[in-house]
Amino acid sequence: SSKLRHVEKDVLIPQIMRDRAKELCSDKVQAFTKCCQETGFLMVVKCRQENTALKDCLVGYYSDPSFYEECKAEYLKQREEYRATGIRKKRQKVTSNV
C-alpha cells in the first residue's frame, strides 16, 4: 500500500526533496560556497546576493507540489525495493568536480 506514515511524510520525503533540490541548485550552492571561501567572516554581508539566489532556488522546489509528488514517488519506489529485497539503497549523489 502507498499509505505514508507521519515520519515518511515529514522526515523521509523532505530529506529526498532537500537532496534533490541541492543537486538541481548546485550552481547556486557552488557560487555561495565560493563567495564564502573568498570573503571569510564578511560573508554575511558580501554574499547576500548568492545566499538569496540559493534560497530562492531551493524554496522554489520545496514549494512546488509536482516536485513533492516526484520525490514521494521516488521514496515509494525505494521503499518497495527495500521491502522486496531487504537492501536499503543509498541515493546516488551527483558529484561535481570542483
Q: pTM for the whole thing?
A: 0.75
Give residue 59's Cα distance to chain centre.
10
| Percentage of the residues of the chain whose pLDDT score is greater than 90 | 68
Q: Is the pLDDT of residue 96 over 80?
A: no
CA angle 13, 66, 30 (to 5 degrees): 70
Per-residue pLDDT band for 1 (boundaries 50, 70, 90) equals: low
**DSSP per-residue codes, 38-68:** HHGGGHHHHTHHHHHHHHHHHHHHHT-HHHH
pLDDT at 78: 92
Domain residue extents for the chain: 6-76
Q: Residue 62 pLDDT > 80, yes or no?
A: yes
State pLDDT tens for residues 10-26: 999 999 999 999 999 99
